Every structure is written in structure tokens, then in C-alpha cells.
A = this chain, B = another copy of it.
């Protein structure tokens, strides 16, 4: 009988649940539209039903060892999702307690970037590392920080919000109410804002000028950059510069062995990494120059969220040994 963990990714549009072996082998996944359920309890019930169906449908007998959940605004200590901006739920949702009505097994919940970091540690490029950081460059910028082999949750349980480091005190308006946060520059949304600003300033008109700000997305910008569009290339350059300062500040803080880039914008690959390496060389404190690696996540994007969430279960097993 094989042991599997259920990995659940609760997203703004869809939620995905999968059964995953400790070696990263995914048996099956089920996708459920998050917004179909007005009440969180109903989504949790349907995720439970999906887990049961997948266990039943498997060709061999599987033993479920625990449930790992990645969700926005999740609090590891309290096992809850709290006032998530990207979900239609209000207040504090006791997700762990809801699952515990169906399972007498470990249920671990944390935010999606933390789950990605644990996934990187258990299945990905951070295997064997004790100190590293994962930056998820999506709509916003999330982060999972590992110190001494463990996720940093801090006193509040909400540590690791590097997207909200203030980079420019009088900078761009952020959704958090403050100005100049990292994610207003370095994220899929941030690079679109940079392109719009460059267009507004009349910077070397090119193929992106035909788009209104709300039509832009990071894939269009990547394609334009590939085709040599000057605004798109300049936008990657500026994104890389701000990210390099954030990386330099991260390195003097926890001195990680590696920083992994993950998520939509990281799919730009060399378009991002080439200028980033140049800027990091310029911005990094000299004594830390060769102290860390800058890498893309080695998890496949398609199932990375499910892998990361399932990894929470194996990580907790390792810790309690």
C-alpha cells in the first residue's frame, strides 16, 4: 500500500487537489471552480469528495497520510484563511478545522508562496538546502523564506511578504494602501505598469503602443521583447533593476544559499534572467557576491502548486521524526 499526501491549491479562479507520493509522483488531480461555491464550507466538502473519489479510482490501494493546503492569506498557526483579497470570502475561515471534520490526519495550511518553497525543498532545486528564498512572480509577488531548514512564519504567522517591502517611499500606489512596494514593480502586473509608463512618456514607440493598459499582460510583453521591441526590453531591464535591489536586500537579511524565481513572470526566462544577473552584480554587497545562486524554480509549473501543498505533509512528517 502506497502512501500519498493530498495537495490542495485554493486559487482565486480554480482550486486543484491532487494525490502525491513522497517522490513527487502525482496519481491524479481534480480541478474545482472556486467561485462556484459561495460558502467556503461547500468548497471544502467538494474537495473532500474529490479526494475520496481519487482514492477510490486509483489502480492500487493508497493510504492518505495528510492534507496540505496552499491558499491566499493563509495562517499556518491558526489553520485559517483570513480576509483573502482574491477570494469572495470574508473574515476568518477555519479551513483546517473544516477538513478535520472529515479526516483524523495532519492538515497543514499555509500561503501559496510558502507551499511553493516547501515544494522546492522536497521535490525541486532546493533539496538539501537549509537557507533559501522562493519569490513567486505572479499577479503580485509572494515569497517563502526558509531559514535553518524551516519556513519563517514569524510571530504573526504572516512572515515572508517580500512583495510589500517598500522599495521607493514615494513610488507606485500599492493595493496594500502604501506606496512603492516591490510587487508594484516586480510582478506580471508591475511590468505592465512599467510598459504603460514608458508608452505614456513616449519612450521609443513600438509594437506595444497599440494596447491599452488594461489589455497588456506579461506574455504579450515577453513576446514583444523576443521580437526586439524596445519598450518591452526596457521594461524587463527596469523590472530586473528593482528586483536586483530586492535580492541584494534579501541577501544581507537571511543570506540564503539560493533565491528561486517562480510563477508567471519567471517564464520570461532569459529575458528576465540576463538583465537580472547584470543588475545583481551591480547591487549586491561585495562580501556576499559569491554567497548565493540565482535560479528558476525547477518545479514544473503545471502541477507546482499541488506538489508544493502536498510537500507540506512530508515536511511536517520529517520535522516530527
Contacts of A255 in B (CB 8 A): 152-160
Binary per-residue interface labels of chain A (111-155) against chain B in the complex, 1 for a CB within 8 Å, 0 otherwise = 000000000000000000011000000000000010110101111
A178 touches B285 (CB 8 A): yes
Total A residues in contact with B, Cβ cutoff 8 Å: 40
In the complex, the count of this chain's copies comes to 2
**Segment 160-206 of A: residues with Cβ below 8 Å from B:** 160-162, 164-166, 169, 176-178
| Interface contact B166-A254, CB-CB below 8 Å | no
Which residues of B are found within 8 Å of A169, using beta-carbon distances? 245, 283
A253 to B166, CA, bound (A): 11
**Interface check A4, CB cutoff 8 A:** no
Across the interface, name the chain B residue whose C-beta is closest to A82: B287
For A158, list chain B residues within 8 Å (CB): 255, 287-288, 291
Q: Are A249 and B154 in contact (CB under 8 A)?
A: no
Question: With the chains together, A159 CA to B245 CA distance in Å?
Answer: 16
Known: A285-B176, A286-B176. A252 touches B156 (CB 8 A): no
Within 8 Å of chain B (Cβ to Cβ): is A102?
Answer: no
User: Closest Cβ of chain B: how far from A288's Cβ, in Å?
Assistant: 6
Name the residue of chain B whose CB is nearest to the CB of A255: B154
What residues of B have a CB within 8 angstroms of the CB of A130 in the complex? Answer: 155
State the A residues within 8 Å of B (CB).
Answer: 130-131, 145, 147-148, 150, 152-162, 164-166, 169, 176-178, 245, 248-249, 252-257, 283, 285-288, 291-292
